[in-house]
Amino acid sequence: MTSMNTTVTRLHPGDLYESSHTEVFVGTGPAALFCGYLGSAWPNRVPDPTTVALLPVGREFLTAATEPDFRTALDNLVEAWPLCGFGIAESGYDDELATLDKWWRTDLYVGGAYTFDGGRVLYLPDGRPHTDNTENDWQSITLASGRPTTRGTTLAGHACAAFDRARHQDPEFGLRPHDVKRATFRRNLVRDVTEAFGVTKAAVTVTDDPDREHGGWRWFRVTITDDGTDYRFTCFSGKVDDLRVLGPCPECRGEVPLIAADEPAALGRVLDARASGHPVPCPPGLTRGVGHTPACPIREDL
């Protein structure tokens, strides 16, 4: 007999910044209708199929065979989601402003999407759908032996998954010309991060930092995905000793480089501060430029 313990939780100050939204649609392409979302309050897992399938109503949602069943299952899942401690959730969006080409909340971090199309539920990992449907990689969901799967374990599957993760962290990753020097930096940084943090290579994604560059040299962004949670870092040199955790500015809540986090204890210091509600100070010399809002009191213009 298998049992699952659930705990009723509430959001704490600061959790909304750390939360991600998995959006739910009916249809694909620009006419896809936005129906609602499942939220994930840090440090809970994002609402991927494996997590959703933990709940019976979640399995009904993933296996819906008709649109009415899909909408009903979403309503039931939205009701159960916060009660089980996963985060906030909403459903019931159905007006004309909810089509994909009009629904666009730039203030939400979107970690994926579900849709009902062609008589089945599809899942889009790592990011929000594009209005140009050719850019989407909707995946079918199969519940096998009680656990959902969305992608095979072939070389092509691993390569596509790695590319998806890279594009999620840096949307222009696939558009820049291949740079052998930077590719070497990324490869070495993956190796060093896996050794420093004790994680697998598949958990580490290194891309160009899409937001930060200096003198024509882009910084590197490192994302460690662990138990469904993304930990994001940035560094200028491409070396693990230079890693700084990306987190909310204590004044404006914009995502900025904070204290050095080159090993687990340093990262733990940041996480402990957040859990206790204490802001992590923005270090001198990193109050300039990208990340801070224009009205941030500690922001310095370049």
d(CA 148, CA 132): 27
For position 5, what pLDDT does the model report?
A: 40
pLDDT, tens digit, 9 for 90 and up, residues 5-32? 433 334 333 344 456 778 898 888 877 8
Residue 136 is classified by DSSP as -
pLDDT at 298: 66
Tell how strand 139-140 and strand 142-144 pair up: unpaired
Residue that the structure tokens 């109050």 belong to = 287
Give phi and psi for 274, each to the nearest 5.
Answer: -65, -45
pLDDT value for 154:
61
Q: What is the pLDDT of residue 74?
A: 94
pTM comes to 0.48
